[in-house]
Amino acid sequence: MPGQNLPFSGTEYERRLALVRSEMARRGIDVLFVEDPSNMAWITGYDGWSFYVHQGVLVFMDEDPVWWGRKQDSNGAKRTVWMQDDQVAFYADNFVQSTERHPMQDLASLLISKRHETNRIGVELENYYFSAKAYLTIKESLPNAEMIDATSLVNWLRAVKSEEEVAFMRKAARISEKIVDGITERAHVGMRKADLVADIYSDAIRGTVDAWGDYPAIVPLLPSGADASAPHLTWDGRTLQSDEATFFEISGCYRRYHAPLCRTVFFGKPPQYLLDAEKALLEGLEAGLEAARAGNVAGDIARALAAPLTAAGIERGARAGYPIGISYPPDWGERTISIRDEDQTVLEAGMTFHFMPGLWMDGWGLEITESILIRPQGAAECLCDRPRGLIVKD
């Protein structure tokens, strides 16, 4: 029977499936094979830590989707997807990490049994979870089928969030606020980063009164001093030091939906270059939020952000944000729109982004960011409600 604790209404899943089928028809795709666990969950509700083996969802034009994966994960599918149990298929465990057989051979047999061996089959080629070996094997196993690159087909359909999705992101935002409040309260000179991360995870997983915390798709990032010139360093046994800035990149997560929030803590008296950078960054954030309006394009946000930074002599080489929503490790972005000068994607009400203009400079770094919602009218809404600016502690 269908999952008993589905995160969304049946109407919501029907809406999503209709969007997928419409796009499949537009591209001439007969069957879509989705491997990205975020897309699997968005279409079916499936939620399990099984994305380290081959799995996926088959979307057809004339029958309900089929969840397909490892046999031992099939009961998890039956407990979390909205489809009936007969729409859950699996391969035997001797396919796992075998040098003699490959799970895609089983998937090909399933497609042949449903008479799709000569159809146009969409696959997510640019994907963390679909290997080169998987693609070669399914092509070899279905020599008369035409493989169509369907990379990000579903990701783009996820760009505009429903009211049900936004409600989850607001709950994630409350958890993000709790995490940042905990960092501000607990962080002190001499504290081991490992201990602070333990507190971060405690706040993240305990969540709030009305929202338990899920595991975020990215671990806490918190480099200090010169290490903060690198955006993706994690933690170790070293301690927080005086006269150093440490940025904290974190996100609350509720039922796989994220609302990232980054803040920077400095112990002691901040140097003037950091204060000047903070001032320019805050001006850029405000300008970017004003530009983040329905009908504008993603590049408008980037250009608004860049003006005060350029005036202050700060040049950023990275994009300034990306879409967010449902996600699994290793990334909480949706891998579609980018907030950068050349992106001409038109902003629509219901889109959600991590507006992320981090500064990773030679010898130092500064992150002050917001998760934002594009509204029908007016400037973007910040999902989190915490003061912007450098957090200075003695």
pLDDT of the residue at 317:
86
pLDDT of the residue at 324:
98
- The residue among 304, 349, 340 whose CA lies nearest residue 322 is 340
- The residue among 35, 17, 13 whose CA lies nearest residue 122 is 35
Full pLDDT tens readout for the chain, 394 residues: 677 789 999 999 999 999 999 999 999 999 999 999 999 999 999 999 999 999 999 999 999 999 999 999 999 999 999 999 999 999 999 999 999 999 999 999 999 999 999 999 999 999 999 999 999 999 999 999 999 999 999 999 999 999 999 999 999 999 999 999 999 999 999 999 999 999 999 999 999 999 999 999 999 999 999 999 999 999 999 999 999 999 999 999 999 999 999 999 999 999 999 999 999 999 999 999 999 999 999 999 999 999 999 999 999 989 999 999 999 999 999 999 999 999 999 999 999 999 999 999 999 999 999 999 999 999 999 999 999 999 999 8
pLDDT of the residue at 1:
64
Token reading at 149 = 């690159």
Are 374 and 294 in contact by the 8 Å Cβ rule? The answer is yes
- The residue among 60, 57, 66 whose CA lies nearest residue 86 is 66
| 77 Cβ contact partners less than 8 Å away, ≥ 6 residues apart | 46, 48, 67, 69, 88
Can you name the residues that pair with 122 across neighbouring β-strands?
Answer: 32, 148
The 3-state DSSP class for residue 333 equals strand
pLDDT of the residue at 4:
74
pLDDT of the residue at 394:
86
Q: Which domains does the chain have, with CATH numbers?
A: 10-157 (3.40.350.10), 163-393 (3.90.230.10)
Report which residue type is found at 210: D
- The residue among 256, 379, 381 whose CA lies nearest residue 324 is 256
What kind and span of H or E run contains 23?
A: helix 10-27
Report which residue type is found at 301: I
Are 321 and 301 in contact by the 8 Å Cβ rule? The answer is yes
pLDDT of the residue at 109:
98
333 phi/psi in degrees, rounded to 5: -85, 160
d(CA 58, CA 77): 13
pTM of the model: 0.97
- The residue among 43, 66, 74 whose CA lies nearest residue 116 is 66
